[in-house]
């Protein structure tokens, strides 16, 4: 499967929403094609380099397919779109097209069956509820009710201020249980750094 890529300084997770402003011709064309064909594009995290420029940036090997859920012409004249993360993928090989759009052969990653929330997830669930009160998170309009560990892990991985590489590592994990454990470890590390 060939997927057009949108390299960003962020990591998108399945079930999470992201607002983008589109101004470069290559991405305006890509968005137009995606909307006409009802298809998505890949959001991949930039590990090194710049989003804008001639040379393609060094990107993460794992990304998330994004589907366009809403769009509007903004006051500044740019196209604003809201996308939702859908499926995770591994980047097999990339190619830069003539219009400088980066595309990739991708392999879809399996999603393990979701499992219900457990009692020991209560602290992480309370943290997600608290994050949901932040004005920037509210503005995204992400679903407030989380019914399984997959959604809890994805939303926390997306919203918490972890380093990009840590988020890429979380996205690469197939198991929601492993992702939640890794989030707990990252939170403990952050807490240790705050009080060191």
pLDDT for residue 74: 84
Contact 9, 51 (CB under 8 A): yes
Euclidean distance between CA atoms 166 and 46, whole angstroms: 13
CATH number of 119-194: 1.20.58
CATH class of the 2-108 domain in this structure: mainly beta
Please tell me the predicted confidence (pLDDT) of residue 97: 92
The H or E element that residue 2 is part of is strand 2-8
Q: How far apart are CA 172 and CA 167, in angstroms?
A: 9
Please say whether the beta carbons of 3 and 108 come within 8 A: no
Domain boundary assignment for the chain:
2-108, 119-194
Task: Report residue 139: phi and psi, to 5°.
Answer: -60, -30
The predicted structure's pLDDT at residue 78:
86
Q: Specify whether the backbone of 38 is left (phi greater than 0), alpha (psi in -120 to 50) or beta.
A: left
Nearest to 45 by CA among 24, 66, 64: 64
For the chain, how big is the Rg over CA atoms in Å? 17
Scored b (16 or more CB within 10 A) or e, 67-100 reads: ebeeeeeeeeeebebbbbbebbbebeeeeeeeee
Q: Which pLDDT score, from 0 to 100, does residue 49 have?
A: 81
Q: What is the pTM of this model?
A: 0.92
- Tokens found for residue 90: 């591994």
* Pick from 31, 166, 168: nearest CA to 91: 168
pLDDT at 142 (0 to 100) = 82
pLDDT tens for the chain, 196 residues: list them.
Answer: 899 999 999 999 999 999 999 988 899 999 999 999 999 999 999 999 876 666 678 999 999 999 999 999 888 888 999 999 999 999 999 999 998 899 999 999 998 878 999 999 999 999 999 999 989 888 888 877 788 999 999 999 999 999 999 999 999 999 999 999 999 999 999 888 777 5
Gap between the Cα atoms of 50 and 79, Å rounded? 21
């Amino acid at each position: 499967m060939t997927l057009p890529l949108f390299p960003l300084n962020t990591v998108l997770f399945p079930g999470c929403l992201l607002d983008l402003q589109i101004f470069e011709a290559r991405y305006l064309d890509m968005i137009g094609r995606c909307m006409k064909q009802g298809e998505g594009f890949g959001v991949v995290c930039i590990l090194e380099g710049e989003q804008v420029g001639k040379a393609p940036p060094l990107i993460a090997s794992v990304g998330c397919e994004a589907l366009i859920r809403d769009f509007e012409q903004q006051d500044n004249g740019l196209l604003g779109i809201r996308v939702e993360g859908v499926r995770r993928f591994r980047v097999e090989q990339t190619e830069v097209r003539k219009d400088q759009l980066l595309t990739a052969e991708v392999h879809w990653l399996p999603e393990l069956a979701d499992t219900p929330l457990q009692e020991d997830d209560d602290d992480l669930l309370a943290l997600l509820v608290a994050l949901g009160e932040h004005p920037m998170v509210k503005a995204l309009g992400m679903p407030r009710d989380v019914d399984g560990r997959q959604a809890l892990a994805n939303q926390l991985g997306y919203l918490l201020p972890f380093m990009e590489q840590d988020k890429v590592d979380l996205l690469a994990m197939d198991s929601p249980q492993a992702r939640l454990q890794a989030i707990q470890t990252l939170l403990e590390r952050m807490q240790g750094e705050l009080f060191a």
